[in-house]
Amino acid sequence: MLGQSPWARESLRRTVSRSSDAFLYTVLPVVGVAAAWHAAASLAVLPPHLLPPPDRVLARILEAVRSGVLVSNLLLTVQRVVVAFVAALGISLPVGAAMGFLPAVERLLTPWLVVALSVPGLIWALVALLLFGLSELTVYTAIAAGLVPMFVVNWWQGVKALDRDLLIMARVYRATGWSVARDVVLPQLIPQLFASARYGLAWGWKIVVVIEMLGFGNGVGYLLYESYHLFSMERVLAWALAFLAVMLALEYGVIAPLERRWTAWRPRVGLGG
């Protein structure tokens, strides 16, 4: 420890701080909820068929993992959300950028954007079902149709909030259009990207489950719908918890680390100054 450089000590300090934060804000609440759940089930606050103990739900999850039922359906649901998410991101970025940079496009598309944002996700799902039937295109279309207007708003407002002084400075130094986009515009839009990722994926999970319940024979939504008809709260909780575990893994295993790395240049803001 005495021979360590200041950089190594600082790196160690940050690692320990992140680990303690992860325990305090992630592990501890999960343990608390599990303990409260176990206590409520032991005290028979609700009948066992309505509130099964956590060990039975965990056993159901492990059994489904061993049989392959849970993994195959989870992967299919995640694939549907990710494909629709990427498609919506690709469509919304040029539209949102055009609205931010071009006032005429902004005036033209704003009313339609308000309309699109007002349409419930279930309506998109029903329209897609009527147009394409029970196909993968239905799932992708319904999810993307709800995500595109949300992403457009995010990119649009992000472009309007760009630091104009930096753009002027880039023009003064005769930077190329590609250099300006890569070194000036894109870094300032990275926070919008992660904001879109979070609420876009959250919205995608909700709508994909609804679509899978409407007639598909696979996916997590199908498993939940089947469990509902079997009146099995144990199965419902098992599939829901497995689904939540995947979402948390994406957040803390993919999105949060990438965000820390790509936005390390941003100063931390605190109320204490």
**For residue 273, pLDDT beyond 80:** no
pLDDT at 10: 55
Computed from CA positions of residues 221, 140, 127, 147, in that sequence, does the dihedral angle turn out positive or negative?
positive
pLDDT at 95: 92
User: Which tokens belong to 185?
Assistant: 């515009």
Please give the Cα distance from 163 to 48 (Å, whole number): 58
What's the rounded mean pLDDT across residues 137-154? 91
pTM for this entry: 0.79
pLDDT at 6: 60
pLDDT at 144: 92
Cα dihedral angle (22, 26, 31, 34), rounded to 10 degrees?
-160
When pLDDT is cut at 50, 70 and 90, the band that residue 21 belongs to is low
Please give the Cα distance from 55 to 38 (Å, whole number): 8
Tally of CB atoms within 10 A around 103: 9
Is 88 or 14 the better-scoring residue by pLDDT?
88
Contact status, residue 78 vs residue 209, Cβ threshold 8 Å: no
The mean pLDDT value of the chain amounts to 82
What's the rounded mean pLDDT across residues 23-34? 74
pLDDT digits (tens, 9 = 90+) for 49-67: 888 888 888 999 899 899 9
**Class for the domain spanning 50-262:** mainly alpha
CA distances from 198 to 106, 189, 207 (A): 25, 15, 15
